[in-house]
Amino acid sequence: MQFTRILAAAAISAPLLAASAQAKDDLIIGVAQFPASMNPYYDSLTIKSYVLGFGNRSITGFDKDWKLSCLLCAELPTLDNGLAKFEDRPGGAKGMAVTLKLKPDLNWGDGVPVTAKDILFTWKMAKDPASGFANGHPWDRATSIDVVDDKTVVFHLEKVRVDYNQWDSLLPAHIEGPTFEKAGNFAEYQKQTTFTRAPTTPGLWNGPFMITNYQSGVQVVLEPNPHWKGTKPGLKRVVIKLIENTAALQANLLSGDVDMVAGEGVGLTIDQVIALRKANPDKFEYIFKPSLTYEHIDLKIENPIIADIRVRRALLIAIDRQTLVDRLFEGMQPVADTWVNRLDPYFAKDLKRFPYDPNLARAMLAEAGWRPGSDGICRNATGDKLSIEINTTAGNRLRELTEQVLQNMWKAACIEVTIRNEPARTLFGETLKKRLFTGMIMYAWSSGVGDSPRSTLASDRVPTAANNWGGNNGIAFADPRMDQLIDLAETELDTAKQIGIWAEMQKIYAEQVRVLPLFFRADPHVVPKWLDGYTPTGHSDLSTAFSENWRSK
Amino acid sequence: MGRYILRRLVQAMIVLLVMSFVIYSLIGLMPGDPIDIMIASNPNVAPEAAAALRKLYGLDQPLMMRYWRWLTAALGGDFGYSRTHSQPVLHMLLPALGQTSKLMISSFVISVILSFALGIMAARKPGGLADGIISLLAFAGISVPVFWLALMMILVFAVQLHWFPASGISNVGDGSLRDQFMHLVMPVTTLALATTGGFTRFVRASMIEVLRLDLVRTARAKGAGEGRVVLIHAFRNALIPVVTVMALSFGVLFNGALLTETMFAQPGMGKMIYDAILGNDFNLALSGLLFATLVTLASNLAADLAYGWLDPRITLQ
């Protein structure tokens, strides 16, 4: 905070930079992280998706209104338009045939057309279990592909899936094909892929921009792709510059060395941007876009205190989340009731909510046998204290601050909460992964629009030694009905039924209180006044996926 | 002398071997791996994909096996592949080394020149006005955190005055010598100011001690001028402990370089090693740390050799 104040003071006295208010062709974006690899299928990090959004588009993506749309395809396959159909699979099961037509004038940056060959190549690579490809919409959903013509393929899906028309980005067969052949295996391909060995190769890029200069750990320079036939990019050059220290990043913004700071979790934190806005209200555009990053507290059900649902509910209603959000984040981050964001079409509007009610919390605890002792902390009949431990990432100032506010709120409701924070590596690498936390653990994760909650709520995804700690269901949620609903949510194509399924899943989630939902993070974007057409999305298809619309006012 | 250098080189090899084992083991003791962090923020990475990634990165192998593979390859000149940069380690190490060398050598030279001048001035009249001012400045230099100094430099010279660029090594599309020089001014000044304070105090203390010795009195009695007494007779004798401290400090400069590189967004060794350790990039972290060890050993050897030059009575065997 001290540095923020220093920066704010300096900024107030600094003369306004004329350059930052002038129309420009170049845009320099400051980021605090740097991508390890530009290959779209290795390392699923936000910063890489951010850079790839400029030059390597996915076939389909969600737009700023969270509606699925075509980025590389000509028309989104649906049952209504006939491009998606049910088909019988061998053995009698129902599958799907999905026809995908690429845009007719789509080219790689070297002028080679993007064709069915690229789809076939990407599919063959990605469906190999040895590939190590990590992407949101697995290619192995398709058991076979028919090539209709240069621009058209038919995916044959083994089963009916709700995500049948969501497909990720393509690898250029004419470049990565020979590279893979030369590498001979995936371990070697990962090292030899042109995306990392020579990312300035024009043929890697099919979006409006392509990388023309890449200095690992320093900056990425992007310039318009001459073979892009879509909306002509309004900028002649985009520089993505790494400045890891966020105080230095703010100083660079004020000095004019960078024009904007990317939101989407790769730039400044929300409190830093709020302070910057207070000091420089007219110098930049400030956008706080609620995102799908869900900040929450997992509860350890094996803890005998937490095993009692009355205690879990008391824990939730004893905290005033709206006041927390208002005071710490100026109300920018919407309070969460479940893992589903209010902007998501499947958000359950009539969900049972647990508003702040400290009196009811104390009454619930009393009903569960916990009564306040002389020190204000509840004890049970045997004299045990109502004491629970909470862990979060040490050094994450906002989380630590949130934790302290919550600790005071719980104390007012006679619940003692002790803080034991750990470095991120320990927290995620041991404590969460192996479920070693004893009471509560606060962290966040992101998902895509309408993503199935299988990974976090299905009973077969509880991390155990037997599955080599392979799941992400850290709360050990094991509810047969939830498992059924997850299966249905992944296969039911009727929208009305889907809404019902999602409503029931959220109802179970809310009523069982295995997690204390806190809020959805808002991505803080600092944008130059001269930039037009900038539209943050708030989901995993980032603002850069629409960067051709960015231009000088 | 030749046998002495050879013996020191053999010792250095043994130190490097032991260090490589210790560093590799220590990095291996850190909990979790990069895949865990990736999964924690993105639960949609399937367990099967995570396992395949671990296999690709070799993270599924026992630590000692990974170390042995690295060691045998390194002895053959192959320092492995950087996981976080997706490039061979040497491809990363050499440019970073060049950048850090510019930063460290420039700041070291400036710091040495300044500290010699200020230390001698302060030592000539201990307790005098010049000594008081210089000591105050030296203590300020020692006390001020490097990252704070760097931030103040950016705020004053980039945000307020617009004299120098706030970060980076050159402007996109420029890269001329002048442009590179302008980008280097603030990091070099920051690092130099941060180290000059300590050096000045050592030079001052050593000079005060030598100026009280008989040899100085004798030189003055023989009619030597004050300049000759201080610079030739006293300073040369005062240098021996100072050289030891400076040689040891050269390796420590990496720490300062890490902070200045981070604050000024300079892609140097300090920052690269730090990122590699945090990112579990064994090959890069190990090679970088071994190189830092090598620099420290080499600077100490240089200091030992300098003793013989400074004081012919010292012989190296």
Q: How many CB atoms lie within 10 A of CB A350?
A: 8
Å between A126 CA and nearest CA of chain B: 11
pLDDT, one tens digit per residue, over A243-259 is: 988 888 999 999 999 99
Is residue B316 within 8 Å of residue B305, measured between CB atoms?
yes
Report which secondary-structure segment, H or E, holds B247. Answer: helix B235-263
Q: Is the pLDDT of residue A542 over 70?
A: yes
ipTM of the complex, rounded to two decimals = 0.72
Tell if the CB–CB gap between A239 and B265 is shorter than 8 Å: no
Tell me the pairing of strands A515-528 and A284-299.
antiparallel
Best A51, A216, A295, A461 member to test B by mutation, with max B CBs in 10 Å, is A216
For every residue of A28-54, DSSP letters joined together read: EEEES---S---TTS---HHHHHHHHH
Tell if the CB–CB gap between A129 and B48 is shorter than 8 Å: yes
Chain B partners of A6 at a C-beta cutoff of 8 Å? 151, 155
Average pLDDT over chain A reads: 91
C-alpha neighbours within 13 Å on the C-beta side of residue A236: 6
- Give the dihedral of Cα atoms B133, B136, B138, B143; nearest 10 deg: -160
Rounded-to-integer distance, Cα A108 and Cα A31, Å: 27
Local structure of residue B266 (DSSP, 8 states): -
What is the model's pLDDT at position B39? 66
pLDDT, one tens digit per residue, over A38-54 is: 999 887 678 899 999 99
Smallest Cβ–Cβ distance between B40 and the set A14, A191, A445 belongs to: A445
pLDDT, one tens digit per residue, over A216-236 is: 888 999 999 999 999 999 999
Tell me how far the alpha carbon of residue A127 is from its chain's centroid: 23
Rounded-to-integer distance, Cα B271 and Cα A243, Å: 11
Smallest Cβ–Cβ distance between A129 and the set B52, B162, B265 belongs to: B52
Q: Please identify which residue in the block is written with the tokens 């205190």.
A: A305
> Which of A449, A532, A15 minimizes the C-alpha distance to B159?
A15
Q: Classify burial at A92, counting beta carbons within 10 Å of its beta carbon; exposed 0-12, middle 13-18, buried 19 or more.
A: exposed
Å between B38 CA and nearest CA of chain A: 7
Tell if the CB–CB gap between B32 and A138 is shorter than 8 Å: no
Residue range(s) in chain B whose domain bears CATH number 1.10.3720.10: 93-310
Residue A177's pLDDT band (cuts 50, 70, 90): very high
Matching CATH number, B93-310, of 1.10.10.60, 1.10.3720.10, 3.30.1300.10, 3.40.50.9100: 1.10.3720.10
What is the model's pLDDT at position B40? 63
Through-space distance between the first and last CA atoms of chain A, rounded to whole angstroms: 34
Tell if the CB–CB gap between B36 and A217 is shorter than 8 Å: no
Chain B partners of A468 at a C-beta cutoff of 8 Å? 47, 51
Tell if the CB–CB gap between A7 and B155 is shorter than 8 Å: yes
Is residue B255 within 8 Å of residue B198, measured between CB atoms?
no
Q: Is the pLDDT of residue B189 over 90?
A: yes
What is the model's pLDDT at position B34? 67
Rounded-to-integer distance, Cα A327 and Cα A141, Å: 46
Q: Is the pLDDT of residue B198 over 60?
A: yes
Chain A partners of B26 at a C-beta cutoff of 8 Å? none
Residue A19's pLDDT band (cuts 50, 70, 90): very low
Is residue B155 within 8 Å of residue B167, measured between CB atoms?
no
Rounded-to-integer distance, Cα A332 and Cα A321, Å: 12
Q: What are phi and psi of B74, to 5 degrees?
A: -65, -35
> What are A523's strand-pairing partners?
A289
Average pLDDT over residues B49-57: 74
What is the model's pLDDT at position A141? 92
Number of H helices, E strands in chain A: 17, 20
Report which secondary-structure segment, H or E, holds A552. Answer: strand A551-552
> Which of A532, A530, A526 minimizes the C-alpha distance to A546?
A532
> What are A285's strand-pairing partners?
A527
Report which secondary-structure segment, H or E, holds A153. Answer: strand A152-157
Report which secondary-structure segment, H or E, holds A526. Answer: strand A515-528
Tell if the CB–CB gap between B53 and A134 is shorter than 8 Å: yes
Rounded-to-integer distance, Cα B37 and Cα A22, Å: 41
What is the model's pLDDT at position B81? 82
**Residues whose CB is less than 8 angstroms from the CB of residue A135 and which lie 6 or more positions away in sequence, other chains included:** A40, A41, A44, A126, A168
Q: Which two tokens stand for residue A23?
A: 């129309």
Q: Is the pLDDT of residue A204 over 70?
A: yes
What is the model's pLDDT at position A1? 44
Rounded-to-integer distance, Cα A191 and Cα A180, Å: 10
Average pLDDT over residues B224-247: 85
Average pLDDT over residues A65-73: 93
Is residue A504 within 8 Å of residue A14, measured between CB atoms?
no
Chain B partners of A429 at a C-beta cutoff of 8 Å? 30-33, 36-37
Chain A partners of B278 at a C-beta cutoff of 8 Å? 425
What is the model's pLDDT at position A216? 84
**Residues whose CB is less than 8 angstroms from the CB of residue B10 and which lie 6 or more positions away in sequence, other chains included:** none
Q: Is the pLDDT of residue A416 over 90?
A: yes
A108-122, A175-189, B209-223 — which one is most confidently predicted on average?
Answer: A108-122
Best B37, B148, B167 member to test A by mutation, with max A CBs in 10 Å, is B167
Q: How many CB atoms lie within 10 A of CB A247?
A: 22
Report which secondary-structure segment, H or E, holds B182. Answer: helix B177-211
What is the model's pLDDT at position B147? 87
Q: What are phi and psi of A206, to 5 degrees?
A: -120, 5
Contacts A–B by Cβ distance under 8 A: 181
Chain B partners of A245 at a C-beta cutoff of 8 Å? 147, 262-263
Residues in chain B: 317
Q: How many CB atoms lie within 10 A of CB A8?
A: 17
What is the model's pLDDT at position B76? 86
Residues in chain A: 553
